[in-house]
Structure 1
Amino acid sequence: MKLLLAEDEQSLSRAVVKILEKNKYTVEAVYDGEDALAYLEMGDYDAAILDIMMPKMDGISVLKKLRAMGNPIPILMLTAKSEIDDKVLGLDSGANDYLTKPFDTKELLARIRAMTRTQTAPDNKMSFGNIALDRATFELASPTGSFRLANKEFQMMEILMSHPQHVISTERLMERIWGYEADVEINVVWVYISYLRKKLAALHADIQIKAMRNSGYSLEKLQ
């Protein structure tokens, strides 16, 4: 299960990420509300944990914008405040649950389990054109054959196939796959795009990864 954690206190964020990963969750962390909204608009998450007090955009505003767009993702709000009004505001704005800091690890895990229990498991297979991507096996396939993708190839293809015909910036791919503090050059994105293009060509794909000058990349059908 894949979660987004939006918490601006980085020491707490790192601790929560470790707890969740130890309990078999996949977690991506962001540190302000604007990034939280952007990631949730673009990403494929099973649930989100949002701190209420964040820079750039507070958690309640992120929540309201998501619900206004019709995004039903389960959301747990974190708050250092214990006043009833703050909890009511969060729930009235569309939160599934709330947790007051500091919290117990067992309670955090129980609340995540509770709010995701009724969610339908995501389909393991994605498709666009004559290409299919299996999230369980990392297999990229067409009617003519298949390849098992390396981890970062898979992550990049998953992002592109989640948003076909939508331009995704090089910087966003870098952040999503290598992280904020990765000690790699940004041209590594182009290297992995090249790997994927070769595999798509070998599979006789009727789709292609197009480069948009000074913008990023998009997955498009061949003309």
Structure 2
Amino acid sequence: MRSDEQREIEPLRKADKPTAQKPAVRVKELSERDRRRLLMHFLALDRDDRLLRFGSVLPDELVTRYAQMLDFSRDTVFGVYDDNLRLLGVGHLAFADRESMPALRDATDKSRIAEFGVSVASHARGLGIGSKLFERAAIHCRNEDIDTLYMHCLSSNATMIHIARKAGMEIQRAYGEADAYLKLLPASPATMLQEAVEEQVATLDFTVKANTKAAAKWWRRFPGFKKRA
């Protein structure tokens, strides 16, 4: 019989395999050095996308303030980069004291609860980026000894509702808004290994993309390069 660790890690191995239609999605943990690209991603969201991501149509000034106020030492932010090092999707995992969320106070004995928010560029939808960001966030929560993952969104946010249902989250709707939460299993050696491997692969993928972009920029400095191209 297979062990619990094998049963936990096999679905993610299958999900990580690229198909002919969809490329592999590499989720990387972001840091202070990614703040400018985060800002560009959020500013590129149109009116409807800002409504779905933030719950209201924030002007550029407030979007900029949001990006500037992200605290990487407190929260965890994940991203998916394209070949040009533009963020296609961002998942923000914010941690809060259980007492600050009365509705979920009885849902856990842990001291903290995690809230997840996600945004995906309009041209990158349908690639499974939102789901992969959620999966990575859930694994991270388990490894951080958090057993309750919470999402708040508009009831009209079909993408978030789909992700919540796919993950088996309990969804409650009221007054045009939806709250969803998921009880997570404890961490295991499999989840620890999984997150470490995924981060290493994503970091390597980012490094290759960055070096390729830098090399292309360097070659363009040579006389006649554009003409030959």
What is the TM-score of this pair, normalised by structure 1? 0.28
> Which structure has more RCO (C-alpha within 8 Å, separation ≥ 6)?
2
What is the TM-score of this pair, normalised by structure 2? 0.28
